[in-house]
Amino acid sequence: MGRGDLNVLVVDDDFRVANLHAGIVSALPGFTVGATVHTLAAARAAMAEAVFDLALVDVYLPDGSGVELVREMRFDAMMLTAATESETVRAALAAGALGYLVKPFDHATLAARLAGYARFRRLLAEAEVSAAEVDAALAALRPPVTPAGPAAQSAAMAQSPTKDLVLQAIQGSREPMSAAQVSAAIGISRATAQRYLAALVGAGSLRMQLRYGSTGRPEQEYSAAGPAR
């Protein structure tokens, strides 16, 4: 850890994704990863033991919501999550999150947000700042990006280790699986599983059909794309 480095806490329920994000942080000059954790309890324990400058937090955690964790923090946070509900986005921003990145995103997008955050910190390093510096600091948190077309979105999905795990779970199953079954099989939240399943169906890698029970609403189930078995 270099002197003056920004110390980052990474919080994600999927340890592969957490490690991926931690690797991006570690590769950037001026940043260091202080802890990588996968639950609210572990995040709170880490916060009690060390001082952090920034947290990268998933919304969906096994023991609660990352939004609640951000609300408890006395340091900066960004949400990195598959949650796209408007209410969740508003709640995260109201809790104090400085940024909200929706998974899957490419590595360069996260790196750009982190570089912008470093500039934000530099611009607000003095005891008092000018109106122009305030505007520049806030703008730094939203670096300009080129809208991602289908090819870029596919590339971001292709880079995701979670996508690979979801696809492997479906391909390795003799029977179609629901989002809840995929979630339990690979240790991610159901909402995260649903997002990746939907993306894989859209890409043509999986098929979705409805499973009808004796009562209640039908459940979506997924199987590998290809000829019917």
**pLDDT, average across residues 153-173:** 75
DSSP state of 203: T
The answer to whether residues 8 and 33 touch, using CB atoms and an 8 Å cutoff, is yes
Q: What whole-number distance in Å separates Cα of residue 42 and Cα of residue 61?
A: 11
pLDDT given at position 155: 53
Nearest to 81 by CA among 105, 102, 95: 102
Kindly list the structural domains of the chain, giving each domain's residue range(s) and its CATH number in brackets, ordered by start. 6-148 (3.40.50.2300), 160-224 (1.10.10.10)
Residue with tokens 């703008």: 139
Asked whether the beta carbons of 67 and 43 are under 8 A apart, the reply is no
Predicted pLDDT at 204: 81
pLDDT digits (tens, 9 = 90+) for 79-121: 999 899 999 999 999 999 999 999 888 888 899 999 999 999 9
Neighbours of 227 (CB within 10 A): 4
Could you tell me which residue, 81 or 143, shows the higher pLDDT? 81
The pLDDT, as a whole number, for residue 228 is: 42
- What local confidence, expressed as pLDDT, does residue 227 receive? 52
Q: Is the N-terminal amide bond of 104 cis, ω within 30° of 0?
A: yes
Sign of CA dihedral 117, 82, 19, 52: positive
Per the CB < 8 A criterion, the answer to whether 160 and 104 are in contact is yes
Q: What is the structure's pLDDT at 144?
A: 76
DSSP per position, 107-149: HHHHHHHHHHHHHHHHHT-SSS--HHHHHHHHHHTS---PPP-
Q: Is the pLDDT of residue 136 over 60?
A: yes
When mean pLDDT is compared across 17-21, 162-166, 195-199, the lowest value belongs to: 195-199
Residue 218: its pLDDT value, please? 65
pTM of the model: 0.66
Strand partners, 89: none
pLDDT at 126 over 80: yes
Do residues 125 and 146 lie in contact, with contact meaning Cβ atoms separated by under 8 Å? Answer: no
- Cα 162 to Cα 71, 124, 229: the distances in Å are 27, 36, 26
Average pLDDT of the residues of the chain = 86
Evaluate if residue 64 carries a pLDDT over 60.
yes
Token representation of residue 52: 């952090």
Asked whether 110 and 24 are in contact (CB, 8 A), the reply is yes
Which residue would you say has higher pLDDT here, 96 or 16?
Answer: 96
Going from the C-alpha of 31 to that of each of 53, 86, 179, the distances in angstroms are 10, 31, 36
Residue 58 pLDDT level (bands cut at 50, 70, 90): very high
